[in-house]
Amino acid sequence: MERKFWALGFIWWVLLVHPPWLISANMEGDALHSLRTNLLDPNNVLQSWDPTLVNPCTWFHVTCNNDNSVIRVDLGNAALSGQLVPQLGQLKNLQYLELYSNNITGPIPSDLGNLTNLVSLDLYLNRFTGPIPDSLGKLSKLRFLRLNNNSLTGLIPMTLTNISSLQVLDLSNNRLSGVVPDNGSFSLFTPISFANNLDLCGPVTGHPCPGSPPFSPPPPFVPPPPISPPGNICSIAIALGGNSATGAIAGGVAAGAALLFAAPAIAFAWWRRRKPQEFFFDVPAEEDPEVHLGQLKRFSLRELQVATDSFSNKNILGRGGFGKVYKGRLADGSLVAVKRLKEERTPGGELQFQTEVEMISMAVHRNLLRLRGFCMTPTERLLVYPYMANGSVASCLRERPAHQEPLDWPTRKRIALGSARGLSYLHDHCDPKIIHRDVKAANILLDEEFEAVVGDFGLAKLMDYKDTHVTTAVRGTIGHIAPEYLSTGKSSEKTDVFGYGIMLLELITGQRAFDLARLANDDDVMLLDWVKGLLKEKKLEMLVDPDLHNNYIEAEVEQLIQVALLCTQGSPMERPKMSEVVRMLEGDGLAERWDEWQKVEVLRQEVELAPHPNSDWIVDSTENLHAVELSGPR
């Protein structure tokens, strides 16, 4: 009996001293430390991975949830080499494993199949060898699987077809061989997903396998024979006899009958000729076989008319400089957002449009809005995207329904980091790089889990195909436009960084980037100037969105404001790159960058306080500005 009480007491003591979350955190920390010891880290990006800490949630490039469980490991583009370790399979709550663009070698551990909460597995642009593990088929929540640009060999596992949630699959540029499994799951993906392998074959790849019959085209359409009316003309003629007289009568009867049956068709044709032409007319996709745009679907205009109820005003989700966006429901029941570009067709613009659409479609990242398809007719240009259930950051900040809760502080931090990752991908991983040119809260969309998704990227270039007489065009919204872009019309990735900094201030304050209503309180109409003014007066609490009801961490607010001010410096050369912004938001390098900036600001202010010889010519840059959207050449 005493031994039983002693055992129970020991268990109770263990639970008190080592609670379950601490045991779990220690296991996850041990697993990640095993990874660190197995990797070569020339840039010391893993310097903060200290195994003596209680849990890994304070390490750079590691994200945890409220239960102190690791849900994200971001080590993309970190110049790491070495091999992965099977202990990674112990990160049971991991949702995102990002190890792309490194020099990691060896096999992909089969233990990754234990990560049943994994949403994204990005191992592309490494030097992995060996087969794709069958165990990856157990990742039932996986949406993004990118293993391209490695040296993987062997067959594609049939188990991968069990992942019904898979949205993006890329196995290209490996040494895979054999038949691509096809039970209907892989039919969503095109040959691009399997391109440049050793010897892949099957219907999905477009290459028949040896010994199998070649793919045959569908049988030609044979129109059904016309249905003869009761008592048709031939039988009437035969019944009337075969001599000339009766033949003449038969001919007259036949002509009368033909006229009788033709009259409705003639009347309908005359009515159509008199009727005004519809504004829309369709060009079926089959008539333009030259358009092959990766995994994009080419929709017919009729499909999108039906989906949006003929572009009804009741289905408008938003308006912008590029056109209107409509909510639609396709024939398969899926919801989409259809962007109807407002510029009309110009002669010779088809090829340029197709090229730019293809460029947009190649940018695939979980924080970028995926282009699902397009439609092109002689009068229409339409882009089809997945429907974002939670709208935009701007709508959640300022236009949400009364029953919807405001964005809490942890969600705003996630939005800041997710949108930075999306923009960094556009700038550093797309070839050629994509400049957004209109980064703002209205163009950061939110999916079902309030994950940030950057929308409208690439559209500025897409819409400029008709501006053949100009080399630059200013596109953007007042309050978000970088000063050098507004004055010269020349954009770069640093103009996006400026817009991102303003978007951060929108997230923190809940206010618009440009708002004449602030004049009522003698405040600046420009959000950036208003924020700087309050910071000079040390009124940080007045900056934060009242909807947060003081439920935020002041130190984190200060850090986000610091990042925003670094991004909105007047000189584009002094602004950080978006990849640097991502690292600062993850806690790496912000303090050093901020200290450098403050020293420069002190010197600048000393210069500005000196008497200016032409002070009479200094004017307020915000005079006579109107809240209009700039969307044309300047």
The pLDDT tens digits for 87-139 are 999 999 999 998 988 999 999 999 999 999 998 899 988 999 999 999 999 99
- Of the two residues 475 and 456, the one the predictor is more confident about is 456
Is residue 438 annotated as part of the catalytic site, yes or no?
A: yes
Distance in angstroms (rounded) separating the CA atoms of residues 418 and 413? 9
Model confidence band, residue 467 (pLDDT cutoffs 50, 70, 90): very low
- Do residues 70 and 56 make contact, with C-beta atoms less than 8 angstroms apart? yes
The pLDDT tens digits for 395-422 are 999 887 767 789 999 999 999 999 999 9
- Of the two residues 434 and 522, the one the predictor is more confident about is 434
> How confident is the model at residue 241, as a pLDDT?
42
The pLDDT tens digits for 188-234 are 666 667 888 878 887 777 777 876 665 544 444 444 444 444 444 34
Q: Of 365-369, 575-579, 595-599, give the lowest mean pLDDT range.
A: 595-599
Task: Tell me whether residue 92 is annotated as binding.
Answer: no
**Residue 500 above 90 pLDDT?**
yes
> How confident is the model at residue 620, as a pLDDT?
37
* Helix 409-428 vs helix 554-567: crossing angle, to nearest 10: 30
Q: Which of 170, 438, 464, 545 is catalytic?
A: 438
Structure pTM? 0.60
Strand 120-122 and strand 144-146: the pairing is parallel
Model confidence band, residue 622 (pLDDT cutoffs 50, 70, 90): very low
DSSP, residue by residue, 278-319:
PS-----GGG-TT---TT-EE--HHHHHHHTTTT-GGGEEEE
Q: Mean pLDDT, to the nearest integer, of 14-35?
A: 64
Phi-psi region of 214 (alpha: psi -120 to 50; beta: other; left: phi over 0): beta
**Residue 290 above 70 pLDDT?**
no
> How confident is the model at residue 5, as a pLDDT?
52
Taking the CB of residue 536, how many other CB atoms lie within 10 A of it? Answer: 8
Helices (H), 129-285: 233-239, 244-274
Burial 240-278 (b: 16+ CB within 10 A, else e): beeeeeeeeebeeebeeeeeeeeeeeeeeeeeeeeeeee
**Residue 329 above 90 pLDDT?**
yes
Beta-carbon contacts of residue 234 (< 8 Å; ≥ 6 apart):
none
- Do residues 432 and 295 make contact, with C-beta atoms less than 8 angstroms apart? no
